[in-house]
Chain A
Amino acid sequence: MNSADDFIKLYRNNLAPVLRDLEPERKALLAQFWTGVAFLLASAPGFALLFRTGQPVYLLAAAPFGIAALYQFYRFSEKKRGYTAEFKNCVIRELVALIDPNLGYYPHRHIGEDDYRESDIFRNRIDRFEGDDLVEGVLGATRLRFSELWHQEKHETTDSKGRRQTRWETVFKGIFFIADFNKQFLGKTYVVPDAGESILGIGKFFEKWSFGRGEIVELENPEFEKLFTVYGTDQVEARYILSPSLMERLVNFRNKAGAQVHISFIHSKLFLALSVNKNLFEPKIFSSGMQSGYLREYFRYLALVAGIVDDLNLNLRIWGKV
């Protein structure tokens, strides 16, 4: 039950009423925001005169409005937290249940740093690690987990005058997925986006450096090779995992996702990082909550990621691993 038609049915029957109930709350939230803005504008002339003339008397005129504005924004952020929690509990939970009733949804949890490290996909230092919207459950014979994650690395540079600059670089932002793989293996196999894709041919040359991920594994599927580069600690095992049918399935999945996909196979598990440069599964506050467009997008991502189990045929358990 996860086609587009199902979504429309769910929207009409279950989501629209809930969203309608949430609308007054959203509007109140919006009113709070605009009141804050109004107070801020009202305090502006006072502050402008204060800075121009330096006369403290103008501070008296500006301060009350300024304080009122701050208070409104503070209330706004408080209410927004409540609204977001309610939205996730009512709306996103329904969406997840539509994908499969066996999946549990935990709005405040995310994939842990240990699991993320285990995947060995992104090796940068972890200076900031955030996430939410964990989905967890068993589909058929396959246990899976995924959540939104945002991994950042801090760069500090000091220029010639001794000024320090801090820059936060996003290493990965998107959906991180972990599932039991249906075959047992001991080594490590990495499937990364093809470098040649980005740097016209020169990339092919750089692919030879695997950065400690074993040797490059050249596979027979030209379409797959165009999209991905494979490294592995064991040539035979990499091919045992990446059977001709799995390669084809990965090509289809990559095309369907339309985004960068990193995969690793470690400890008989499949780790998949899908880059999404958006904060998903959040409510919209500045436009009508009744629109279905953004929900459809959330649903598409949920279906895409939970669909990995079927897309990659992970429930096929004929190789001695149960």
Chain B
Amino acid sequence: MTDFIDLFSYAFFQNALLASILTSVLAGIIGTYVVARRSVFISGGITHASFGGMGIAYYFGFPPFLGAGIFAILSSLGIEWTSNKAGLREDSAIAILWSLGMAIGIIFVFLTPGYTPNLMGFLFGDILTVKQTDLIWLGAISLSVVLLIRFFYDAIIITAFDPDYAKTTGLPVKTIRYTVSIFIAIAIVLSIKVMGIILVLSLFTIPPSAANLFSKSYKKVMFLAVVISLVGSIIGLFMAYVFDLPSGATIILTLTGFYTISRIYKLLATK
């Protein structure tokens, strides 16, 4: 027990804890939108495409998350754009983007001379090396997302629910969709630090899906998703520390466990 209490006195652990709290808020809010709009696959494409930017940034010596951010934003805008054009097969376009991003990333990481960056950290997350600047970014984006949903809640969900109708009321549907896309991209990239490219998608998907089992109201699903994500991340973080495992993986295991139990509970309760 004293081990745990000691843990909190370490700066790296405080940072890790704060990072998982902020990521949970971000993932709960953005994830609910992604799941409700059925755009989980789009988010997967954005996540993996961002690896290309990361590799290029590494090769040229820029901050890797800047590269990833630019790639993520461009690809999310690109996908939003193609989804408005008839005749383009969105799922194929996403799959191509997905693997192209990974390919570019792998090539540039491979080409980077001498020092090989910590690939495992990108792929599986490295929460224990979160720095103060990472936290500032995460905090700023989390705050922006909270404010965005606080003030534009109705317009955002109506645009997601029934875009054609939203257009007839004169809502700036395109602007809203593109703005939200940019926030999704940034949220994903910042969460990569904690969860890793491969696992970040689940952090955005499992909590809202579990929350959706208990409520059909968007607001409640969103709040519940944040709570589930928070509890899961913190438990996962402790597990990672105790068993010396990558934090992304332990967080996803915790969340999936929770989802499975909820599912079974719901199944038994409705019988």
Do the two chains belong together in a single complex? no
